[in-house]
Amino acid sequence: MYIEALNLNIDNIDKYTRDEIKNIYKKIALECHPDKLTNITDEAERNVKIERFKNASIGYKKAIEDFDNYGKLKCNGTDYDFDNLADDYEIYSNFDLNFWKNTYDGIFKDKEIIKNTFIDVASYFFNKGGFKNKNYYNPSTKIIKHSINLPITYYDLCSPNKRKLRILLKNVKEAVYISLCCKNDYPCLTRQYIDDDSVEHEIIINMIIEDDCDVDESKEDDDDIIHYTHNIIGDTSNASNASNASNGNIGKHKIDLNITIDINILDYLIGGTKKIRYVDNTYIDIEIVPFSLEDIIIKNKGLLGGNLNARLNFQNITLQDWGKISEKKRMRLITIFKKMYI
């Protein structure tokens, strides 16, 4: 049935025009014709597109027959035996050259008929609003590529929520809408788009992480803001890896998050737990081991399967801190330190 083959709305089946059906078929052909699939290495994906092209071609033929017979599409006339498609053309194999010559002579022997035929054709074009853009009649096989850099945050790589982009392409009247999930599609997403002039566009969206993103800049307590940096594990500079990532192979693009945690002499002596705010605004605990300044690595707590690396920054006693205690307590501490180091 051409309803499924051309993806038509069955509720409005009698509202479609012949030109609309032609444009729908043309877009499917541009996307799924075997000559357009040379860059697809997945055999299963190629077969699906080729099958769609075959069904669309057969469905388009049947839809045009409905227009010829009824002047519109008829929902109850869409059944078709695809297995017997060759029978439609088999009768022509029995006609010899004389048949075609006689047919030609019968049509074109009358010059008046020829003149009226061309006048009718010209009138059709002018009554339809004039001639269309040359791409409509002779679509280009060239693919126009558009590369777009999309700034994203660490939170975007944690969130399963989708972002809807409104993209304006040069020389394209209508805006293009693309939905993406940064967590699943990072670092690159590629989409094909065919405009109303049957020109094919390839839209490449490169997701760029904004450096040194704060967890929450609206937080009033500056001491509670943790600054993150990142390391990307895997090469995202070439198109093949970017394509793999857009197909869900995100394991090659793990992102390590790096943070610095300040500890004082008390933390160093007795250890403890530091609560930090993560990029998704939840809190996680970092365990500080006494007498250790080694980096703390938390597996799989980075982004896309990476690690969270915490660097410990030892902060010595400041003069201001030293002045908070009495002279008597300071002398007592000095006596204790002398016993430790002398």
Q: For residue 189, what pLDDT is reported? A: 92
283, pLDDT greater than 50: yes
Side-chain-side CA neighbours of 233 within 13 Å: the count stands at 16
Q: 177 versus 46: which is more confidently predicted?
A: 177
Q: How far apart are CA 27 and CA 50, in angstroms?
A: 14
Looking at mean pLDDT, say which of 91-95, 170-174, 242-246, 268-272 comes out highest: 268-272
pLDDT, one tens digit per residue, over 182-207 is 988 999 999 988 887 778 899 999 99
54, pLDDT greater than 70: yes
Beta-bridged to residue 194, according to DSSP, are 200
Q: How do strand 200-209 and strand 229-233 relate by DSSP bridges?
A: unpaired
Q: Which two tokens stand for residue 205?
A: 């969206």
| Per-residue buried b or exposed e for 24-52, using 16+ beta carbons within 10 Å of the residue's own CB | bbbbbbbbbeeebbeeeeeeeeeeebeeb
Q: For residue 127, what pLDDT is reported? A: 59
265, pLDDT greater than 80: yes
What average pLDDT does this structure show over 30-42? 75
Nearest to 252 by CA among 244, 263, 260: 244
Q: 189 versus 241: which is more confidently predicted?
A: 189
Q: 109 versus 170: which is more confidently predicted?
A: 170
pLDDT, one tens digit per residue, over 66-100 is 888 777 887 654 444 444 444 444 444 444 555 55
Q: For residue 62, what pLDDT is reported? A: 85
Q: For residue 111, what pLDDT is reported? A: 61
User: Confidence band (pLDDT; 50, 70, 90) for 335?
Assistant: very high
Q: Give yes or no for a contact between 165 and 185, defined as CB atoms under 8 angstroms apart.
A: no
Segment among 55-64, 90-99, 280-289 with least mean pLDDT: 90-99
Classified as helix, coil or strand, 116 is: helix
34, pLDDT greater than 50: yes
Domains and CATH numbers, the chain: 2-137 (no CATH), 140-210 (2.60.260), 219-316 (2.60.260.20)
- Which residue type does 120 have? D
Question: Which spans in 71-171 are helix H?
Answer: 87-90, 97-108, 111-127, 134-137, 154-158
**Run of H or E including 169:** none
Q: Give yes or no for a contact between 155 and 280, defined as CB atoms under 8 angstroms apart.
A: yes
Question: Which spans in the chain are helix H?
Answer: 2-5, 18-32, 43-70, 87-90, 97-108, 111-127, 134-137, 154-158, 182-185, 239-246, 265-270, 319-322, 327-341
Q: 223 versus 43: which is more confidently predicted?
A: 43
Q: For residue 217, what pLDDT is reported? A: 42
Segment among 120-124, 197-201, 220-224 with least mean pLDDT: 220-224
Q: Give yes or no for a contact between 289 and 340, defined as CB atoms under 8 angstroms apart.
A: no
314, pLDDT greater than 90: yes
Q: For residue 133, what pLDDT is reported? A: 55
Classified as helix, coil or strand, 204 is: strand
Q: For residue 140, what pLDDT is reported? A: 58
Q: Give yes or no for a contact between 145 and 204, defined as CB atoms under 8 angstroms apart.
A: yes
Compute the residue count for the chain.
342
What does each C-alpha distance from 341 to 26, 113, 263, 279, 336 come to in angstroms? Answer: 85, 116, 22, 42, 9
Q: Give yes or no for a contact between 189 and 236, defined as CB atoms under 8 angstroms apart.
A: no
Considering the chain, what is the average pLDDT of its residues? 77
Segment among 111-120, 228-237, 258-267, 308-317 with least mean pLDDT: 111-120
Classified as helix, coil or strand, 241 is: helix
Q: How do strand 308-314 and strand 296-298 relate by DSSP bridges?
A: antiparallel
Omega within 30 of 0 (cis) for the link into 187: yes
225, pLDDT greater than 70: no
User: Confidence band (pLDDT; 50, 70, 90) for 271?
Assistant: very high
What average pLDDT does this structure show over 107-117? 60
State pTM to two decimals: 0.52
